[in-house]
Structure 1
Amino acid sequence: MVLLSQKKVEIVMNTLTEEQIYFLQHRIKLKKKSRWLQILANYKGIDINEKMSDQEIEDKLDDWILVDIKDGGYQKRPHKCDCGQALRFQYIIQNKAKGAVRYLGANCFENYLSLPSSVIKDVKKGMYSIDLERDEILLKHKKNLFYPLQAYLHLPLPQDLLDQYEIGIPLTDNQINLVERIHTTFEQERKLASLFQRLTIEQQQFVSKLNQKDRRELLLSIEEGYAESFLHLEDLSEYSETLQKQIQLNLPLLERQKQSVEEWRLAKKRETAFNALTLEQQQFILSLSKEEQTVLLDQIHKPLFYHYDSIKNLPLDDRIKQQVELQLPLLKEQMYQIAQAQNKVERLTK
């Protein structure tokens, strides 16, 4: 989308009421000032976040602040720059440290601030995007495209958005997306509240102590009807009391808890498999890397593919032969080496 011409902006603006015109112009000024403060704060390396108000950001700055942008109207130049040039758009800036106020046109605005070209570029880009939002609103108003916000008035919507709806100004696509995100969050919270009420008192007390993210995941798991009732407490004696209590209450485990329990079970299974081996087999396994030990112990009960007599005369590493002789499973790369050795011998005997 490209900006509307100033003439087209004026034509649509003239179809609005005075209240709507004031609201839209005031909104544009506030958004441009907010964007200016954010860009300047970022340039100055000042730490800000999305929860901070414009006033809080402004309080951190000791520099030129954008106070207002005045629009004299289509084909009119009622304002003046400090350099004497007649202006339609006048940028009013104030130096917080000295209190000095300057009335500037677009060119002097850029030159006076002595900011890097990259910062000026960001300012222009920010102002342009806000003007695009204005044009989006005007085009929607012209085409009578109004979002049915009345169906969402029960939601905790921003007051400026409600005010915009009340005076008959269409919402932008970004505002509509915000409404729908708030609606989705609201419905999820209502669902979670309903799931929470289905729990026993003891389960509710336990769930209430979880952080918001874990509580949400656990409650949604309950909706799916999933619980780790198959786990036995005596098997989890090494785990925290919290996890044991969770299972005792027949509450589902979180994904990270399930992964942790599964890793614990596999470790126990490997330990059992290792203890069942002969001393010679154990010593051989301990000579391997941790990764190789894990892979080998996970395959300990699988059928063996080779017997020692079938590979003892092949050109193989002694370790592979020893491993087969000890009746231990082979790693994939070892089996590949045996297959290669067999092919080599077959070619030589032909």
Structure 2
Amino acid sequence: MVMLSKEEVEAVMHTLTEEQIYFLKHQLIRKKKSRWLHTLANFKGMDLNDKMSMEEMEDKLEDWMLFDIKDGGYQKRPYKCDCGQSLRFQYIIHKKSEGAVRYLGENCFESYLSLPPSVIREIKKGMYSIDLERDEILVKHKKSLHYPLQEYLHLPLPKEITDQHEIGLPLTDNQIRQVERIHTHYEEEKKLSTLFQRLTIEQQQFISKLNQEDRRELLLLIEDGLAESFLQVDDYSDYDQTLQKQIQLNLPLLERQQQALEEWALTKKREKQFQALTPEQQTFVLSFSHEEQATLLDQIHKPLYYTYESIESLRVDDRIKKQVKLQLPLLKEQIYEIERAHNKQVARVMGTGSLAHFS
């Protein structure tokens, strides 16, 4: 959206009630103060708690704060900068720790603060975006584009939004998206509550101990009919007791639980496969990296690519020959090495045969 000209802003403002004008101006200043505080906090590397009041934020920052922005009206300059220049827009800043107040125009405002140009740009960018929100409201008001908020007043909406609706001002697109997000969350919570009520007392007690995100995922899995999705492990008796309880209650596993259980089951399978090896095979397998050991153990019961006799004459690493002799599977790179050695051997034989033919 393109910002309205000063004339256009004035023209629409004249169509508003005194209450609507007061609301818009009050919100404008409040939002600009908030943006100022957060921009300044970011510059200083400080975290502001959203639950803090503006006064608490100002005390923490101990710097020049935006107190008010006065607008004298279109083509009017009733205010004065401390430098003596007549102003339409007057920025009033104060420093509580010094009890100092300054009345500045835009130019003096920038130079007086002694902030880096990047921070000044960020402050002005924030002010501009807030002015755009005001203009969006004015344009929608002029075109009578009102969102049907009355259908959502049962939701826990921010007071700013309900107040804005009650005095007859349209909502911005961002506010509408916020309302719709709240509505989506509300409907989902209602659905989750219904699903929860369908569970047994014991299942409810178990789920109630989970954090909110895990509880939500688990209930949605139940809705999707995935309560049997965990039944993929034969024996989980020595696994995590909480998860065992979850399975016994016929509750589905969360995605991360499913992955963890599958990894655990695979580790147990590899341990079992390792124990089934001869002591010599075990010693040989342990000479590989942990990742290579896992790869070898996963292939223990698969058919072997080569017999010792088929590679005995090839020029390959003696370790590979011993591995094959021990009837252990091979890694991919070892198979490639055998194939290369075999191809070279064939080429040498063919080359010898050609020389014999010509002789």
**TM-score interval (norm. to shorter):** over 0.9
Which sits farther off after the overlay, 215-224 or 10-19? Answer: 10-19
The equivalent residue for 1:165 is 165
| Displacement of 1:46 | 2.5
The count of residues paired between Structure 1 and Structure 2 equals 350
> Could you tell me how far apart the structure 2 residues matched to 1:122 and 1:290 are?
51
SS state at 1:94 partner: strand
> Could you tell me how far apart the structure 2 residues matched to 1:290 and 1:142 are?
70
> Could you tell me how far apart the structure 1 residues matched to 2:233 and 2:111 are?
73
> Could you tell me how far apart the structure 2 residues matched to 1:61 and 1:289 are?
54
> Could you tell me how far apart the structure 2 residues matched to 1:313 and 1:335 are?
15
The equivalent residue for 1:246 is 246
Once the two structures are superposed, residues 235-273 of structure 1 have per-residue CA deviations (whole angstroms, 9 ceiling, x without a partner) of 223223212211111111122221121111111111221
The equivalent residue for 1:295 is 295
> Could you tell me how far apart the structure 1 residues matched to 2:69 and 2:37 are?
14
> Could you tell me how far apart the structure 1 residues matched to 2:13 and 2:319 are?
86
| Displacement of 1:195 | 1.0
Q: Report if the CA contact (8 A) 2:233-2:265 is conserved.
A: no
> Could you tell me how far apart the structure 2 residues matched to 1:313 and 1:276 are?
30
The equivalent residue for 1:222 is 222
Q: Report if the CA contact (8 A) 2:229-2:253 is conserved.
A: no
Alignment of 1:204-223 (within 5 A): 204-223=204-223
> Could you tell me how far apart the structure 2 residues matched to 1:216 and 1:227 are?
14
Once the two structures are superposed, residues 273-319 of structure 1 have per-residue CA deviations (whole angstroms, 9 ceiling, x without a partner) of 12222222222112211111100000111111211111111111111
> Could you tell me how far apart the structure 1 residues matched to 2:180 and 2:230 are?
40
The equivalent residue for 1:346 is 346
SS state at 1:217 partner: helix
Q: Report if the CA contact (8 A) 2:230-2:253 is conserved.
A: no
Q: Report if the CA contact (8 A) 1:233-1:248 is conserved.
A: no
The equivalent residue for 2:132 is 132
Q: Report if the CA contact (8 A) 2:308-2:324 is conserved.
A: yes
Once the two structures are superposed, residues 292-348 of structure 1 have per-residue CA deviations (whole angstroms, 9 ceiling, x without a partner) of 110000011111121111111111111111111111111111111111112111222
| Displacement of 1:68 | 0.6
> Could you tell me how far apart the structure 2 residues matched to 1:148 and 1:336 are?
69
SS state at 1:244 partner: helix
| Displacement of 1:213 | 1.5
> Could you tell me how far apart the structure 1 residues matched to 2:228 and 2:256 are?
14
Matched to 2:266, the amino acid is L
> Could you tell me how far apart the structure 2 residues matched to 1:30 and 1:120 are?
19
- Normalised by the length of structure 1, the TM-score is 0.95
- Normalised by the length of structure 2, the TM-score is 0.93
The equivalent residue for 2:25 is 25
Which sits farther off after the overlay, 289-298 or 303-312? Answer: 303-312
The equivalent residue for 2:308 is 308
> Could you tell me how far apart the structure 2 residues matched to 1:308 and 1:141 are?
86
The equivalent residue for 2:119 is 119
Identity %: 71
Q: Report if the CA contact (8 A) 1:281-1:326 is conserved.
A: yes
Structure 1 residues 229 and 133: CA distance shift in structure 2, 3 A: closer
Q: Report if the CA contact (8 A) 1:229-1:250 is conserved.
A: no
Q: Report if the CA contact (8 A) 2:230-2:258 is conserved.
A: no
| Displacement of 1:121 | 1.4
The equivalent residue for 2:326 is 326
> Could you tell me how far apart the structure 2 residues matched to 1:141 and 1:69 are?
24
Matched to 1:103, the amino acid is Y
Once the two structures are superposed, residues 38-88 of structure 1 have per-residue CA deviations (whole angstroms, 9 ceiling, x without a partner) of 122222333213343323312313222211101011111111112111110
SS state at 1:146 partner: coil
| Displacement of 1:169 | 1.1
Once the two structures are superposed, residues 100-124 of structure 1 have per-residue CA deviations (whole angstroms, 9 ceiling, x without a partner) of 2221111111122222222211111
Matched to 1:31, the amino acid is K
Matched to 1:341, the amino acid is A
The equivalent residue for 2:148 is 148
Report whether the alignment pairs 1:7 with 2:7: yes
Which sits farther off after the overlay, 331-340 or 237-246? Answer: 237-246
> Could you tell me how far apart the structure 1 residues matched to 2:102 and 2:75 are?
23
Which sits farther off after the overlay, 167-176 or 53-62? Answer: 53-62
The equivalent residue for 1:282 is 282
> Could you tell me how far apart the structure 2 residues matched to 1:99 and 1:267 are?
68
Q: What stretches of structure 1 of length at least 5 have no aligned partner? A: none
> Could you tell me how far apart the structure 2 residues matched to 1:232 and 1:27 are?
57
Q: Report if the CA contact (8 A) 1:81-1:104 is conserved.
A: yes
Matched to 2:169, the amino acid is I
> Could you tell me how far apart the structure 1 residues matched to 2:106 and 2:288 are?
72
SS state at 2:235 partner: helix
Once the two structures are superposed, residues 122-165 of structure 1 have per-residue CA deviations (whole angstroms, 9 ceiling, x without a partner) of 11111111111111111222222222212211110001110111
> Could you tell me how far apart the structure 1 residues matched to 2:156 and 2:240 are?
39
Q: What stretches of structure 2 of length at least 5 have no aligned partner? A: 351-359
Q: CA RMSD in A?
A: 1.8
> Could you tell me how far apart the structure 2 residues matched to 1:224 and 1:345 are?
59
